[in-house]
């Protein structure tokens, strides 16, 4: 009887070992299948999203679909040559929109774009961006609504922002100031 019990125990141990092997193979098969699916999705994603994009932005003309005007990004080499009296634009950096309370009531919402003298934005400018924004906010907050509603007021503000920006940078890097949004209420 002892031999039968021993034989039965050995048989149970063998069945348990075979069951463990079966569980391991199932786990390995599931892991391999999942990894194949993931690799396939990655390859598919790279194929779909890695298409070359054109550098030319086309603008649809209302009447002329065949050869409408086209906008060309700077630096693509497809730009027309400059005229004799035309100077190239410098780098243009858009500042975040300013919303500032005005002296005497009301507020101004203005989007400012700074044009640099060179075609590149100096590293010094990026480092001085926070003090520059602070200086412009201080300048705007002392303005009155009446000062900003006419053309000369806007032009004066552009010159003041230009002076404040160059003073904040410590050098005359900025050549021009543009408003792309100007709301006074």
DSSP code per residue over 128-155: THHHHHHHHHHHHHT-BHHHHSSHHHHH
CA dist 29 → 22, 24, 25, 97, 175 (Å) = 11, 9, 6, 56, 66
Instruction: State residue 6's pLDDT score.
Output: 72
| 109 pLDDT above the threshold of 90 | yes
CA dist 168 → 141, 159, 162 (Å) = 17, 14, 10
Instruction: State residue 163's pLDDT score.
Output: 93
43 vs 164, higher pLDDT: 164
pTM of the model: 0.54
C-alpha Rg value of the chain to the nearest Å = 34
Angstrom distance (rounded) from CA 23 to CA 104: 79
| 95 pLDDT above the threshold of 50 | yes
Three-state DSSP class for residue 58: strand
| 121 pLDDT above the threshold of 60 | yes
Three-state DSSP class for residue 86: coil
13-33 per-position pLDDT tens digit: 777 666 666 677 877 888 888
130-149 per-position pLDDT tens digit: 999 999 999 999 999 988 88
Instruction: State residue 58's pLDDT score.
Output: 42
Angstrom distance (rounded) from CA 45 to CA 25: 30
Instruction: State residue 21's pLDDT score.
Output: 66
For the domain made up of 92-184, the CATH class stated in words is: alpha beta
| 150 pLDDT above the threshold of 60 | yes
Instruction: State residue 17's pLDDT score.
Output: 66
């Amino acid at each position: 009887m002892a031999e039968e019990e021993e034989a039965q125990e050995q048989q149970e141990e063998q069945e348990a070992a075979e069951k463990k092997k079966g569980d391991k193979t199932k786990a390995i098969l599931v892991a391999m299948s999942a990894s194949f699916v993931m690799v396939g999705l990655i390859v598919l994603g790279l194929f779909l999203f890695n298409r070359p994009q054109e550098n030319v932005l086309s603008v649809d003309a209302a009447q002329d679909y065949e050869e409408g005007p086209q906008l060309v990004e700077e630096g693509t080499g497809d730009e027309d040559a400059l005229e004799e009296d035309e100077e190239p634009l410098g780098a243009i950096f858009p500042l975040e929109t300013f919303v500032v309370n005005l002296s005497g009531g009301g507020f101004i919402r203005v989007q400012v774009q700074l044009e640099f003298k060179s075609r590149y934005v100096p590293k010094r400018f990026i480092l001085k961006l926070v003090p520059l924004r602070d200086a412009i906010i201080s300048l705007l907050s002392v303005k009155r609504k009446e000062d900003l509603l006419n053309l000369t007021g806007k032009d004066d503000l552009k010159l003041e922002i230009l002076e404040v920006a160059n003073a904040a940078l410590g050098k005359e890097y900025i050549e021009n100031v543009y408003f792309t949004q100007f709301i006074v209420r």
